């Protein structure tokens, strides 16, 4: 967490109804507008951008309206679906299941719900849907991946077990989610060992015969803080081996308790966790905690833009206010905001939890859109939420297409308003907004091609 500066102006538009939690702002010109709130579609470099959707399978265990099951997934919503997560078994260096009862059929020891097979069966509704398996995640930590990647023999055992898992269940590839090489107890050598791991994974995946099918995919989820990029990723070398960089462009600013070892100056100040741009007077440290800065950093370091996938969080990060007047960016907060009714995690609310909380107490909430950051926020007398909505998600699509990126990604389907509590789109409003905006760009791209043929 970086040092924050204080005293910047922000833009608030109070509303009396919640609707979609969307305020149509006068978006900054560098988002791609003509100054009249109509979007100017900049010449696209990628004709068919992908839409990657992660799914935290443990969402099955949430109660009531929060429960998310395979049956909630529309196979035509995303181009790529990432089944999250598989784990690394440290004793054997093999990939293993995170939850046998959830993942496996009853014919397996400890099996029950058979979610992997049900997920793969979604292809029956969309034969073009790519379904990959994610290995790792935040809760896995870094140390056991560091140990595995440092040992050539362990790497080969790990890779062979991945190939076996892919072939057993018919996945379309792997998403490597080591969080993070060189950090969280990892070693400095992790940076190069991660490259070796990806290189050997690429070679093994390319050897798998898939008659009538596309080659197996190799993707990875990337932390996007400047210190993580520097410590973890040899971007030019990684670019040789992976199909897509899934950029986790969220959680840039979250509440951190000043009494904990992780605290750094500014960690208890209100900030948005996924701003597209930065404010004019912010220092270089805070400028780096933005979507645009991170994307441009990866490009400058040698990542092909068409391999970059911009991540959008379908949730908000929350702060508990000292008092009702201290609700501005960079004001001191007293703690993380109260947990949502379904995810039960202080400091984080899903998009549908945000909708439901505000709908219950409409008169207590004000909703704004910061035109510097190009993102929405909301606050009451006791709580502040920074989140993404349909408007900000579309702005990120516009930005990404102007940069020529390969597509968009969301964490996660089960955090979006799949139950249509917010209204609009008949569910999954953020994912659908991204998909709709990508379709608009595709249509423009096709017109450009047709026009060029006639000249």
Indicate the average pLDDT of the chain: 90
| pLDDT over threshold 90, residue 419 | yes
Structure confidence at residue 444 (pLDDT): 75
> What share of the chain has pLDDT > 90, as a percent?
85
Please tell me the distance from the alpha carbon of residue 98 to that of residue 120, in angstroms, as a whole number.
Answer: 17
Give the number of C-alpha atoms closer than 13 A to the C-alpha of residue 126, restricted to the C-beta side: 15
Structure confidence at residue 169 (pLDDT): 98
Helix, strand, coil % over all residues of the chain, rounded to 5: 35, 20, 45
- Mind listing the pLDDT tens digit for each residue in 124-144? 999 999 999 999 999 999 999
Enumerate residues 6+ apart whose C-beta is below 8 A from 380. Answer: 324, 361, 364, 365, 366
What is the pLDDT confidence band of residue 300, given thresholds at 50, 70 and 90? very high
Structure confidence at residue 447 (pLDDT): 72
- pTM above the 0.85 mark? yes
The DSSP line for 12-33 is ----S--TTT-------GGGTB
- Mind listing the pLDDT tens digit for each residue in 186-220? 999 999 999 999 999 999 999 999 999 999 999 99
- Mind listing the pLDDT tens digit for each residue in 348-400? 999 999 999 999 999 999 999 999 999 999 999 999 999 999 999 999 999 99
Tokens of residue 420, six digits? 């249509």
Please tell me the distance from the alpha carbon of residue 302 to that of residue 300, in angstroms, as a whole number.
Answer: 5
What is the pLDDT confidence band of residue 13, given thresholds at 50, 70 and 90? very low
Q: Where are the domains of the chain?
A: 45-314+390-453
- Mind listing the pLDDT tens digit for each residue in 136-174? 999 999 999 999 999 999 999 999 999 999 999 999 999
The DSSP line for 138-173 is GGG-SHHHHHHHT-HHHHHHHHHHHHHHHHHHT-SE
| pLDDT over threshold 90, residue 28 | no
Catalytic residue among 179, 282, 353, 390: 179
Contact 375, 274 (CB under 8 A): yes
- Mind listing the pLDDT tens digit for each residue in 228-255? 999 999 999 999 999 999 999 999 999 9
Options 3.90.1010.10, 2.40.33.10, 3.20.20.140, 3.20.20.80; CATH for 45-314+390-453 is 3.20.20.80
What is the pLDDT confidence band of residue 21, given thresholds at 50, 70 and 90? low
Burial of 80 (C-beta count, 10 Å sphere; 0-12/13-18/19+): buried
* CA-to-CA dists, residue 253 to 133, 353, 409, angstroms: 28, 20, 19
Please tell me the distance from the alpha carbon of residue 332 to that of residue 321, in angstroms, as a whole number.
Answer: 8
Contact 413, 435 (CB under 8 A): no
Structure confidence at residue 23 (pLDDT): 47
Q: Which of 229, 272, 275 is nearest to 379 (CA)?
A: 272
Tell me how crowded residue 198 is: count the other CB atoms within 10 A of its CB: 22
Beta bridge partners of 62: none
- Known catalytic membership, residue 71: no
Structure confidence at residue 455 (pLDDT): 63
DSSP state of 55: E
- Mind listing the pLDDT tens digit for each residue in 313-355? 999 999 999 999 999 999 999 999 999 999 999 999 999 999 9
């Amino acid at each position: 967490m970086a040092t924050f500066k204080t005293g910047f102006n922000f833009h608030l538009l109070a509303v009396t109804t919640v609707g979609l939690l969307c305020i149509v702002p006068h978006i900054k010109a560098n988002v791609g507008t003509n100054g009249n709130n109509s979007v100017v579609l900049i010449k696209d470099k990628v004709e068919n951008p992908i839409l990657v959707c992660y799914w935290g399978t443990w969402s099955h265990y949430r109660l009531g309206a929060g429960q998310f099951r395979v049956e909630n997934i529309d196979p035509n919503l995303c181009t790529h679906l990432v089944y999250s997560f598989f784990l690394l078994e440290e004793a054997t260096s093999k990939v293993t299941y995170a939850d046998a009862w959830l993942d496996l059929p009853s014919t397996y020891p400890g099996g029950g719900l058979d979610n992997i097979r049900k997920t793969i069966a979604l292809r029956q509704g969309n034969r073009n849907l790519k379904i990959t398996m994610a290995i790792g995640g935040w809760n896995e930590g870094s140390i056991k991946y560091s140990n595995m990647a440092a040992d050539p023999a362990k790497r080969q055992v790990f890779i062979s077990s991945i190939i076996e898992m892919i072939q057993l269940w018919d996945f379309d590839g792997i998403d490597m989610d080591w969080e993070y090489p060189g950090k969280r107890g990892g070693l400095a050598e992790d940076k190069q060992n991660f490259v070796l791991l990806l290189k050997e994974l690429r070679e093994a995946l390319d050897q798998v015969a898939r008659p009538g099918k596309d080659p197996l995919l190799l993707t990875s989820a990337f932390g996007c803080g400047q210190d993580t990029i520097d410590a973890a990723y040899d971007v030019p070398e990684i670019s040789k081996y992976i199909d897509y960089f899934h950029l986790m462009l969220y959680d840039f600013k979250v509440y951190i308790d000043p009494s904990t070892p992780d605290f750094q100056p500014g960690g208890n100040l209100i900030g948005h966790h996924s701003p597209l741009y930065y404010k004019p007077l912010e220092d270089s440290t805070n400028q780096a905690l933005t979507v645009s800065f991170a994307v441009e950093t990866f490009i400058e370091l040698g990542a092909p833009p068409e391999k970059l996938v911009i991540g959008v969080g379908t949730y908000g990060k929350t702060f508990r206010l000292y008092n009702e007047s201290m609700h501005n960016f960079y004001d001191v907060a007293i703690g993380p905001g109260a947990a949502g009714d379904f995810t039960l995690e202080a400091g984080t609310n899903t998009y549908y939890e945000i909708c439901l909380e505000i709908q219950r107490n409409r008169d207590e909430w004000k909703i704004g859109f910061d035109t510097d950051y190009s993102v929405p926020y909301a606050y009451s007398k006791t709580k502040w939420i920074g989140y993404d909505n349909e408007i900000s998600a579309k702005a990120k699509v516009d930005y990404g297409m102007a940069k020529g990126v390969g597509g968009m990604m969301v964490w996660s389907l089960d955090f979006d308003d799949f139950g249509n509590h917010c209204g609009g789109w008949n569910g999954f409003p953020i994912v659908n907004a991204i998909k709709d905006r990508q379709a608009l760009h595709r249509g423009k791209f096709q017109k450009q091609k047709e026009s060029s043929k006639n000249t």
